[in-house]
Chains A and B, each alone.
Chain A
């Protein structure tokens, strides 16, 4: 008979050659290679403190006739550790998703079971085909003070483990980052940059569930970010940029009333408008360019809170 045998890393494994007696003459092979007789005790195969490399197919043949008497697929692995579970709503108020992973591999197949309970009601978690370790739950009720309880159980041939999360509806609301971030110089304004972006496409109803935004920007030559929070609108004009310096800009989003900030958006770069150098022809004009002063640095204040309407700076 042939079957799969799971053993834990470090375990001692004994295999019997099917129905053969202890003292019968047999040959053991693994993956087509003879196994040294030092691993045999009579017709039994003894594997001490198995490791991952010893996973494979093991076969036992009767001595003289070479009849296959026993075959097994040995799978060396580990029982599952407590899984890491995360639940998040990036499309509030439609629903939320939960995703999970194991902190360390088990090297053998694992089976996950998730249960989502809201008060006394069991909710359906629709599994994604890909990625496999994720499923979605639709909010049946909104504005509930009753907590959600999500329990994930993982099982494999060597053991079982589980983890539980309990949370409020609002606590897991975290939008995706803003999209289509664009930064442009403003002609004839050496200290301005115009930044615009869009609501994340995964956010279903920005009208009833408006997002507010956090913009951060800095010249590449400095490490210190400047921040500005915007309670509505999807554009902002930076008015205190250093003339001629390339800037890096990112935006984050948050529901106006609940939840946490999104991750930062993809970074975009832009350099404020600079005057075109004049085309010089005479001696005087050449001397004029060599005495041109360089731009001076004045580190601006760092954090500002402003409504879209109130544009700070020059």
Chain B
């Protein structure tokens, strides 16, 4: 395992970061398209304001510029693991509610779910690179599905997709921070923190 600081590790990290940035960019544009489809198919108002949705990782963060590289990666990974579970739940609910009536929405949801899973794996790869390793899945803990009415579930889905779109922007920024030459040393990826 290459030391976190070795030139090859730095190159590998930069490569993973730039691929992750592109993946985040693609994911964001797909999520925005999915949002439009979701709002339309679920009969929601695009400007509806959704209060903070319980169990959905908020992308909003304070003192973002002061975060260490590890903190960024760990927070990102925890979020995308949660989104993976949330999107799987949404897909399940969507199939129960609409069946094959709206296969288009289902396919779009499934495509984004795939990208979220790929991005989570990408983050795990980055964490492995710094010989810290990614926290095991249990630590993250999937959110328990709530018993909500149909409209609440639709609003919740809207909240999930909106936060995911924001996370995609945040992740691209985080990865650019990680890819900065000035952040090449392991101090930027301090191993002290845990989520």
1/0 contact string of B158-170 vs chain A (CB within 8 Å): 0100110011011
* Cβ–Cβ < 8 Å partners of B180 in chain A: 207-208
5 closest A-B pairs by CB: A144-B60, A143-B59, A143-B170, A208-B176, A142-B64
B151-195 residues at the A interface, CB under 8 angstroms: 159, 162-163, 166-167, 169-170, 172-173, 176-177, 180
The 8 Å CB contact of A145, one of B25, B62, B166, B177, is B166
- Decide yes or no: A257 and B60 within 8 Å by CB, A143-B166, A145-B166, A147-B49 being known contacts: no
Q: Indicate if the CB atoms of B25 and A142 lie closer than 8 Å.
A: no
Q: Which residues of A contact B (CB under 8 A)?
A: 93, 140-147, 170, 205, 207-210, 256-258
Measured in the bound complex, the distance between the Cα atoms of B176 and A257 in whole Å is: 12
Residues of B within 8 A of A209 (CB): 173, 176
Given the complex, which residues of B lie within 8 Å of A147, measured CB to CB?
49
Please, which residues of chain B bring their CB within 8 A of the CB of A146? 52, 60
Residue of B nearest to A119 (CB): B52
Contacts of B176 in A (CB 8 A): 207-210
Q: Which partner residue on chain B sits nearest A204 by CB separation?
A: B65
Q: Is the CB of A257 within 8 A of B169?
A: yes
Contact indicator A144/B64 (Cβ below 8 Å)? no
Q: Say yes or no for B148: interface residue by CB 8 A criterion.
A: no
Question: Which residues of B sit under 8 angstroms from A207, Cβ to Cβ?
Answer: 176, 180
Give residues of chain B (51-101) contacting chain A, Cβ–Cβ below 8 Å.
Answer: 52, 58-62, 64-65
Cβ–Cβ contact B177 & A208, under 8 A: yes
A93 to B176, CA, bound (A): 14
Residues from chain B with a CB closer than 8 A to the CB of A143 are: 59-61, 64, 166-167, 169-170, 173
Name the distance in Å between A165's Cβ and chain B's nearest Cβ: 14
User: Please, how many angstroms separate the alpha-carbon atoms of A262 and B120 in the complex?
Assistant: 34
Closest chain A residue to B181 by CB distance?
Answer: A207
Contacts of A210 in B (CB 8 A): 176
Knowing that A145-B159, A208-B176 are A-B contacts, what are 9 other residue pairs whose CB atoms are under 8 Å apart, sorted by A's residue number?
A140-B62, A142-B61, A143-B59, A143-B173, A145-B50, A145-B162, A145-B166, A170-B169, A256-B172
A-B contact pairs, 19 of them (CB 8 A): A141-B60, A141-B62, A142-B60, A142-B61, A142-B170, A143-B60, A143-B61, A143-B169, A143-B173, A144-B58, A145-B58, A145-B59, A145-B60, A145-B163, A146-B52, A146-B60, A147-B49, A208-B177, A257-B172
Contact with A along B11-31 (1 / 0, CB 8 A): 000000000000001001000
Given contacts A145-B163, A207-B176, A210-B176, contact A258 B61 (CB under 8 A): no
The main secondary structure of chain B at its interface with chain A is helix
The docked-state distance in angstroms from the alpha carbon of A162 to that of B16 is 50
Residue of B nearest to A207 (CB): B180
Q: Known A93-B64, A170-B169, A258-B169; judge A144-B59 contact (CB<8 A).
A: yes
**Complex Cα–Cα for A256 and B18 (A):** 14
Query: Across the interface, which residues of A come within 8 angstroms of B61, CB to CB?
Result: 141-143
In the bound assembly, the distance between CA atoms of A170 and B173 in angstroms comes to 13
Chain A nearest CB, measured from B46 CB (Å): 12
Task: Give bound CA distance, A307 to B162, whole Å.
Answer: 29
B residues in contact with A208, CB < 8 Å: 173, 176-177, 180
Q: List A contacts of B177 (CB < 8 A).
A: 208
Q: How far is the CA of A170 from the CA of B169 in the complex (A)?
A: 10
**Which of A141, A143, A170, A256 has most B Cβ within 10 Å?**
A143
Closest to B178 in A: A208
Query: Which residues of the partner chain A approach B167 to less than 8 Å between Cβ atoms?
Result: 143
Shortest CB-to-CB span from A94 to chain B, Å, is: 9
- Enumerate B128-159 residues with CB–CB distance to A below 8 Å: 159
Task: Tell which of A145, A146, A210, A258 has the most Cβ of chain B within 10 Å.
Answer: A145
* Nearest A-chain residue to B64, judged by Cβ: A142
Cβ of A147 to closest chain B Cβ, rounded Å: 7
CA distance A128 to B159 in the complex (A): 37
Tell me which of A93, A144, A257 contacts B28 (CB under 8 A): A257
Residues of the B chain whose Cβ atoms lie less than 8 Å from the Cβ of A145: 50, 58-60, 159, 162-163, 166
Nearest CB on A from B58, distance (A): 8
Bound Cα distance from A93 to B62, whole angstroms: 11
**Alpha-carbon distance between A205 and B65 when the two chains are bound, in angstroms:** 10
Q: How far is the CA of A141 from the CA of B67 in the complex (A)?
A: 13
CB neighbours of A257 from chain B (8 A): 25, 28, 169, 172
B172: chain A residues at CB < 8 Å are 256-257
